[in-house]
Amino acid sequence: MENKDIHDLNLHETTIVHDFKIMRVPSGWMYNETFVPYSAEFKDLKTTVNPKEVRKFLEDYFKLKKKISTKTNDGNYPLARQVYCKILKTYSRFQNSQIARDVGFKSRAHVNNSMTAINNRIYGDKYFKTEYEDILRKLKLK
């Protein structure tokens, strides 16, 4: 039994941390005989992103003439905003309200709507999925 980070444990795998026997169970961990619900709050992110760099890259990638936060639905602006939201939600600890403010949305609910739209597009459109993976590679996130 090697000592792994608790977030890297597979289901029913155990590790020992500071004399606690920890086992990964559905939706959390068992510390000795006490259930602790899952929380990613203290999980180390493999990668962190700089929002300014991501914004600049996407503005260049989608050939936007104005800032990504411009209030327009012309051309690739909505798609660029959706990709921006997905990248920040996946590779940073930004909350919806912070992302909404940064991208120019009126409320944080728009971030959830963008996430739904971009996820549907990634999983439904094979061409766009490869394009999204290309964006991640160019940003050195994959």
Q: How far apart are CA 24 and CA 68, in angstroms?
A: 41
Q: Are 81 and 103 in contact (CB under 8 A)?
A: yes
Contacts of 40 (CB under 8 A, 6+ apart): 7
pTM over 0.75: no
What pLDDT is attached to residue 42?
A: 58
Task: For 80-141, give the DSSP string.
Answer: HHHHHHHHHHHHS---HHHHHHHHT-SSTHHHHHHHHHHHHHHHH-HHHHHHHHHHHHHTT-
What is the tens place of the pLDDT at every residue in 69-110?
Answer: 888 888 899 999 999 999 998 888 788 888 998 888 888 899
Number of neighbouring beta carbons within 10 Å of residue 125: 12
